[in-house]
Amino acid sequence: AQGDGRSRVRFFEPDMDMHVERRINIERELRSAIAADIIEPHYQPVVSLVSNRIVGFEALARWESRTLGHIPPDVFIPIAEETGLINALGDQLFRRACSDATAWPKAFSLAFNISPVQLRDSALGERLISILEQTGFSPHRLEIEITESAFVERSGAAKTVIDGLRQAGVRIALDDFGTGYATLSQLLSFRLDKIKIDRSFVSHLDDSTDSRVIVRAILGLANGFGLTTTAEGIEDEGQLVYLVSNGCTEGQGYLFSGPVPAAGIPALLDREASD
Ligand code: C2E
Ligand code: CA
Ligand code: CA
Ligand code: CA
């Protein structure tokens, strides 16, 4: 074990250097990717667990860098937030998503992620609404996904943005529910339409009693307040059965489909129509 520890230390320092260098490279490439508008939304179907039909899509940002290869959003979104690039990137992704979504059947909704950092900008709501107007996508078909930390911050800006969007007819979903530190009363002081149950609970439904108890409690609470519920990351039939039997109304996950590029949506809908 001694030897292991030492060799780990020896490899640690070059790794740290690479880490810093990589981060600098990513930041530089991110600027040019945004300037070139090459980061694009892919779309993961949201399925009604009642009708077993697609009811909408969640936009998830995808970046294939010419020099760095595939960079996941868990890596570049935080860098965009730290560098202030998130506002330009978010607007760009939103414009693209709205214009893609105008080609979908009218009943489908678009879910779009907004990070707490984006919500510090009190002009965000007006920009999003003007993008809706420019692209002709109805605010009534839009759902904004925000995490608990946006509620905890309780910044005046977040409230202004969320209230403005709600007034325009946009629905508000609480993302990654159960992973943050918001109190119930903080959450209830904002009017929500939907709660999304985080994948970390869904993926342990089969092996953790705690996860089953938590998920059942979240579903009971949400249903009691008349909120829609979406479970993230459904990968197998057993998870689906548990969620359905406890009243979950919508689901997403590889069991149905991973995110697909805009051009892949017609094939997904054809496949569903022929079921
Ligand atoms: P999220 O909003 O919680 O999105 C769900 C993540 O789970 C996505 O990862 C999705 O591809 C992945 N996923 C969906 N179904 C399954 C499944 O069955 N199994 C597994 N293992 N994973 C599944 P992704 O696309 O890598 O996005 C990661 C996070 O990055 C998102 O988490 C969201 O917080 C953020 N993000 C992505 N796109 C955007 C964006 O346009 N704007 C902002 N602000 N954040 C974004
Ligand atoms: Ca989300
Ligand atoms: Ca999540
Ligand atoms: Ca998230």
pLDDT tens for 162-206 read 999 999 999 999 999 888 777 777 777 778 999 999 999 999 999
Q: What's residue 14's pLDDT?
A: 55
CA-nearest residue, atom 33 of ligand 1? 113
CB-based contact 97:62 (threshold 8 Å): no
User: 11-15, 53-57, 92-96, 194-198 — which is least confidently predicted?
Assistant: 11-15
**254 touches ligand 1 (CB under 6 Å):** yes
* pLDDT of the residue at 136: 98
Q: Is the CB of 176 under 6 A from ligand 1?
A: yes
| Tokens found for residue 71 | 């960079």
Alpha helices in the chain (DSSP H): 2-35, 73-83, 86-101, 124-135, 148-153, 156-167, 184-188, 199-202, 209-224, 237-245, 265-273
- 19 pLDDT exceeds 80? yes
- Torsion, CA 168, CA 84, CA 74, CA 92, rounded to 10: 50
pLDDT at 18: 61
Give the pTM.
Answer: 0.93
Ligand 1 atom closest to the Cα of residue 93 is 41
In percent, the amount of the chain with pLDDT more than 70 equals 92
Residue nearest to atom 42 of ligand 1 (CA): 113
Mean pLDDT of 124-137: 98
CA 229 to ligand 2 centroid distance, Å: 13
What is the model's pLDDT at position 3?
44
Q: Which residue has the higher pLDDT, 259 or 155?
A: 259
At residue 17 the predicted structure's pLDDT band, cuts being 50, 70 and 90, is low
DSSP 198-216: -HHHHTTTTT-HHHHHHHH
The answer, yes or no, to whether residue 1 has pLDDT greater than 50, is no
Which of ligand 1's atoms lies nearest the C-alpha of 198? Answer: 3
Extract long-range pairs of 88-94: CB within 8 Å, 24+ residues apart: 88/34, 89/30, 89/34, 89/39, 89/61, 90/114, 90/115, 90/118, 90/124, 91/127, 91/128, 91/131, 92/34, 92/37, 92/39, 93/39, 93/40, 93/41, 93/59, 93/61, 94/128, 94/131
In the numeric block, the tokens 């740290």 are attached to: 16
Determine the pLDDT at residue 16: 59
**SS3 label, residue 29:** helix
Give the residue whose CA is nearest to atom 32 of ligand 1: 74
What's the pLDDT tens digit per position in 29-86?
A: 999 999 999 999 999 999 999 999 999 999 999 999 999 999 999 999 999 999 999 9
Q: Residue 121 and residue 103: Cα distance in Å, rounded? A: 30
User: Is the C-beta atom of 77 inside 6 A of ligand 1?
Assistant: yes
